[in-house]
Amino acid sequence: MTLDALALRQALAKTPGAHSDGLDTVHTLLCRREAGAFQRAAKATSASADELLVACTQEARLFLELNDATEGAAGVAERPIRFVNIRETAGWSRDKAAATPKIAALLAVAQLPAPEPVATASYRSGGRCLVVGPAQAAERAAALLDDTLDVSVLVSQGGSALAQAHGRATFTGQPTRITGWLGQFDVAWRSANPIDLDVCTRCNACVDACPEGAIGLDYQVDLAACQSHRDCVRVCDAAGAIDFDRAPTVHEDRFDLVLDLREQPAFSQHQPPQGYFHVPTRGAGAERGLTDAVLKLRGLVGEFEKPRFFRYQPKLCAHSRNEQTGCTACIDVCSARAVRSDGSRKGKTKGEQAGGIAVEPHLCVGCGACSTVCPSGALSFAYPGPADMGRRLRTALAAYGHAGGPAQAGAAALLLHSEGAGARLIDDLGRGARASRDLQGLPARVLPLALWHTASVGIDLWLAAIAQGASQVWVLLTDEEAPEYRQALAEQMAVAQAVLTGLGYRGEHFRLLEARDARDLAALDAALRTAAAQTVARAGTFAVQTDKRATLELAMDHLLAQAPQPADEVALPAAGAPFGSLLVDADKCTLCLACVGACPEAALADNPDTPQLRFIEKNCVQCGLCATTCPERAITLQPRLWLADGGKARKSARVIAQDQPWACVRCHKPFSTLRAIENMAARLAGHSAFQGAAAERLKMCSDCRVIDMYSNPGEVRITDL
């Protein structure tokens, strides 16, 4: 590779968070020929305890071994070694001559400190494994695991022979429930066959004695063929092994691991719990699937930890209040079913049921999709958090601009991809471009950034990246992503694109790119050649905040300030819109203010001096709790971005409903609204209990109503009391 050391050094020196130390000498054949240079660098960084950054990922193992073998070099525990790929992502491309800005961006991001550690979820597995499936297949799989795990077999389907040796616990029946995760799977199954496999000694006496041949070498009775001779019972020497009077029994037990060989899995979600493996016995790839599962199961004994990927702030959650349901975005998108509704959470007022959600960290796989679709920021991705991820995006764009000058600053496209399949596809594209004239490789303006999961970054960081100078944000999807993620990302991108289009920015700024394997490389290569879209003339310098709504406001304020031709109002798609207004039907609304108490974001408020409903549009997350709580069904959501008065109008309280106050007909003190009293009187006009003086009392305040009842005892009805 040809590297411009001077340009890289100057760009990194100007980029906050990066440094240009060590770039005095640039190595262009680092792999093995210049291994001595690595050893000298390993010694030099040991003295300063600085991290050592190596721009080669192919020979990472070699460099780690060299570090251990170099006298005077610190171990990786004292001085970490980090690796960054600039070969397939930049050097191996038709645009390699113009790739210096991209290389500067990749080096700058690689120098950023690792995110702060987060809490962990712990698993403990003793290796107790349950194999569920047809008899012969279950026995075969169990035999592959016996030397490592404590295996039990649950035969869910007979018809094939079991091993003669009774070497493990064996049961028969149909699973009725499998729940849990690695280390604590609760399994229940229903057993109805007369032969108890765990007691049966498999002596074959019953097989020989049965005149109908209703018992095979699976040691189960075919009840349809059995003629009730009971010869099998007479010859059985194992007490209780065969009992035709035994009632169907439900058994329950706990296991650490589950290998499910049935055709239909116990878990239908895209991401099953860790420790559960489903391998159908029929179909292409069944043998390889079993081998892979066995290898993974063998390694799942001991104690394990994984990051607690999410942060949840109940006070911001717009899921439910007082048994009314609002936003369900996180529950709907979770492919692991780790998020559920939790109505047990208490509110601020005594007795108020605030509701909320609960996330099971042992089921969470860290996709981050829940935080991407959460409109309020109650759920956020924690590893890395929004601020850390925002720093990576801003650093990449800043270094890119510093290395390329003003002509490069507005052209950068961010390509967000997973650390697994996404990174492999990008490597394949780089190698393909070097080996074939049919592929061009990653363009010089495309900055690839690896994520733990592509669904963990959403509209707040996308818009922030555009405000900070990116031309486009693309997300590379592979087979790793669940269908729910694709839909959620597409909806969020539609909202983000509507915002930029409404502000007057030309072009397509957001796109989902899909590729599964090498067969899709040509289409991916062509998609990456899309022309740059219009972006800001001056890149924003704000920092991404921990709070999602705060980041959105910073990004939109900068985008609006730089907007070519902003509209006063931008209509947004209904699906996934985190901004909007409310439409109140004045003929229905009685200003009962139930919606004010239901709003979790302080977007709605009353006026203590006069009957009014006030609304701050900036705070509204379009959760719908106000609409579902309203007894008159007078509220309708209106997804939009209101930009009147330079965006100031949406940040101020405005009146969206008001009425005349109703004064008590006795003491003339205001206590309700005109429409509320009129509606109540109209609805009760035909009721026998509200005639005469009782009807007039509806127009009195609570104090005067009591006084009037005692002043006119002859006119008091049972209903008044």
223 and 327 together in one domain: no
Q: What is the CA radius of gyration of the chain?
A: 34
Cα distances (Å, whole numbers) of residue 543 to 102, 378, 388, 390, 534: 21, 20, 10, 7, 22
Strand partners, 260: 132, 278
Question: How far apart are the C-alpha atoms of 40 and 67, rounded to whole Å?
Answer: 10
654 and 666 together in one domain: no
The amino acid present at 89, given as its one-letter code, is T
pLDDT over 70 (residue 49): no
Q: Which of 340, 363, 381 corresponds to the end of one domain? A: 381
3-class secondary structure, 431: helix
pLDDT over 50 (residue 692): yes
Domain membership flag for residue 597: yes
| Tokens linked to 521 | 């490389």
Helix axes 386-404, 100-110, angle to 10 degrees: 150
Question: How far apart are the C-alpha atoms of 441 and 146, rounded to whole Å?
Answer: 48
Q: For residue 631, what is the domain's CATH number?
A: 3.30.70.3270
Q: For residue 328, what is the domain's CATH number?
A: 3.30.70.20
Q: Which of 259, 284, 305 corresponds to the end of one domain? A: 305
509 and 433 together in one domain: yes
- pLDDT for 720 equals 47
Domain membership flag for residue 587: yes
3-class secondary structure, 548: helix
Which candidate, 530, 536, 514, 403, places its Cα nearest to that of 469? 536
Q: For residue 253, what is the domain's CATH number?
A: 3.50.50
pTM of the model: 0.86
392 and 264 together in one domain: no
Which candidate, 638, 632, 590, places its Cα nearest to that of 615? 638
Most confident of the ranges 65-69, 123-127, 218-222, 279-283: 123-127
The domain tally of the chain equals 5
| Tokens linked to 351 | 């007795």
- pLDDT for 459 equals 97
98 and 154 together in one domain: no
Range of the domain at 146: 123-305
Which candidate, 22, 25, 47, places its Cα nearest to that of 34? 25
473 and 418 together in one domain: yes
Give one DSSP letter per residue of 368-426, joined into a string.
-HHHHH-SSSSEEE-TT-HHHHHHHHHHHHHHHHHHH-HHHHTT-EEEEEETTHHHHHH
pLDDT class for 129, splitting at 50, 70, 90? Answer: very high
Question: Which secondary-structure segment (H or E) carries 254?
Answer: strand 249-255
pLDDT digits (tens, 9 = 90+) for 61-110: 999 999 999 998 988 888 889 999 999 999 999 999 999 999 999 999 99
Query: With pLDDT > 70 as the criterion, what percentage of the chain qualifies?
Result: 95
Domain membership flag for residue 545: yes
301 and 314 together in one domain: no
446 and 370 together in one domain: no
257 and 322 together in one domain: no
Helix axes 483-502, 548-561, angle to 10 degrees: 40
In Å, the largest CA–CA distance within the chain is 110
469 and 549 together in one domain: yes
Cα distances (Å, whole numbers) of residue 38 to 8, 21, 90, 106: 19, 14, 22, 20
